[in-house]
């Protein structure tokens, strides 16, 4: 249940991003749902691979290159979907940072409202 609520709230966050940044466009709430799903998949599978492949650059930049990786995955989701469009790298960078902040806020709020995850051992 928590996963579905998180997914819906992240889709709402994408719709909110369209109001904050004109370079990010979402055609409908259904498109936002698909975009949130694809961004989640890319963050789960492609992003770790990109982090490993660019580890020397990330270390040399003291971790700042992770912002570039986040922007690339955000823009990659835009390229995979018709109803979600990001106009350029800078909009993808801003969008990925704001989306990450929204994700953090959503995770903390859900943790407080719905309690800890079921997989954690009791204390």
Q: Is 26 exposed, middle or buried (0-12, 13-18, 19+ CB in 10 A)?
A: buried
Instruction: Report pLDDT digits (tens) over 40-61.
Output: 999 999 999 999 999 999 999 9
The span from the CA of 66 to the CA of 103, in Å, is 16
Looking at residue 51, what is its pLDDT?
96
Instruction: Report pLDDT digits (tens) over 49-100.
Output: 999 999 999 999 999 999 999 999 999 999 999 999 999 999 999 999 999 9
The pTM for the full model equals 0.88
The span from the CA of 1 to the CA of 22, in Å, is 32
* pLDDT-derived band at 114, boundaries 50, 70, 90: confident
């Amino acid at each position: 249940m928590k996963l579905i609520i998180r997914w819906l709230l992240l889709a709402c966050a994408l719709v909110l991003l369209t109001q904050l940044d004109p370079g990010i466009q979402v055609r409908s709430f259904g498109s936002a749902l698909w975009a949130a799903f694809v961004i989640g998949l890319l963050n789960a599978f492609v992003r770790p691979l990109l982090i490993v492949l660019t580890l020397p650059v990330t270390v040399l930049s003291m971790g700042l290159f992770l912002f570039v990786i986040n922007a690339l995955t955000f823009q990659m989701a835009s390229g995979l979907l018709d109803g979600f469009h990001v106009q350029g790298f800078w909009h993808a960078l801003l969008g990925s940072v704001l989306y990450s902040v929204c994700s953090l806020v959503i995770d903390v709020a859900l943790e407080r409202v719905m309690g800890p995850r079921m997989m954690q051992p009791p204390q």
